[in-house]
Amino acid sequence: MANATRFRETGELEYCIASLLQYSPWIRKVFIVSDAQTPSFMSLIEKSSYSNRIEVVDHLTIFSGYEENLPTFNSRSIASLIWRIPGLSENYLFLNDDFILIRPVSPNDFFNNDCIVVRGTWKFQHKYRLDKLLIRIFCPKRHKQSVQSTRPKLSHAQASAATIAGYKRRFFSAPHVPHPQLKSLLQKFYSEHTDILNKNIKFRIRSNEQFLPDALTTHLAFYYSKAEINNKLKSMILKMGKISNRLLRYKLALARFNRRLVFVCIQDLERAKPKTRKILIDWLNSHVGKLTNLIHE
């Protein structure tokens, strides 16, 4: 069962939006997908010059025709239908609400001519990895426990997407970063494989039987020679529920001076201790800025 804190927003979204407006002003429109909820800051945005650049989209809109799968609490199910947002561009970025940009980015960082620009590396599918084979042979008990694990793993979901796209022996492993997407690629694939889409959106809670929707785009793009790898820009994950104040300060200092570090993923902010949370919020206010201040400039 998913932890209740996974469904609690504690300020990340506001900084996410502020970072997009400040460091990627070339983005035409930001869509916030929500389940009959409107962020409190939208009342301020609607009265500002940014009113035409931020829009809240309800689950009912993207699940139109698939309403039997609602309500859902599964980001993978929701992401499977993001491409159905009315007015969405052919080239778009998919990112969760816990992503923050801390430096300017350009369209070429994500799209180059007809190709998407992806970050990560190719890896062998688990059954072809030597270390996994040795575990199966010499540590059968450990292998059995791994197989029986119900925790939905990112690598497993990426590998499943690769298999669907025709990559049986390897998969492209991408870190937690914003993912460039091609709408027409998904439209064509899902129109020809409705069974795959229907299965992936039926789970109301994240499941190991699901593939990662953004990873499917990546592998389809590779298949059609519409993807290129560029790992120049880096990302950093902050697990706020576990990190010590000393380590947090070190990582934030690293982010400040490493010019290639552009993306920060803030996980479990709701679990952070008050002092730990304050260290991060003070840093975000300094390096990203408050959305309210940006709107009133």
Q: Are strands 30-34 and 54-58 parallel, antiparallel or unpaired?
A: parallel
Give the pLDDT confidence score for residue 136 in this predicted structure: 62
Q: Report residue 132's pLDDT band, with 50, 70 and 90 as the boundaries.
A: low
The mean pLDDT of the chain is 90
pLDDT in tens, 148-197: 455 678 999 999 999 999 999 999 999 999 999 999 999 999 999 999 99
Give domain status of residue 158, yes or no.
no
Residue 101 forms part of a structural domain = yes
Instruction: Provide the domain count of the chain.
Output: 1
Between 3 and 38, name the one with better pLDDT.
Answer: 38
| Average pLDDT of span 126-138 | 64
Residue 143 domain flag: no
pLDDT at 294: 83
Q: Which residue range is the domain that position 21 belongs to?
A: 4-116+179-208+227-295
138 within domain boundaries: no
pTM, entire model:
0.89
Does 137 fall in a domain? no
| pLDDT at position 6 over 50 | no
CATH number of domain containing 234: 3.90.550
171 domain residue, yes or no? no
Which tokens go with 174?
A: 């991408």
Domain-embedded: residue 261: yes
Residue 250 lies in a domain: yes
pLDDT of residue 297: 66
Q: What is the pLDDT of residue 10?
A: 67
Segment holding 92, helix H or strand E: strand 91-94
- What is d(CA 158, CA 69) in angstroms, rounded to the nearest whole number? 23
Distance CA 191, CA 168 (A): 22
Which has the higher per-residue pLDDT, 140 or 187? 187
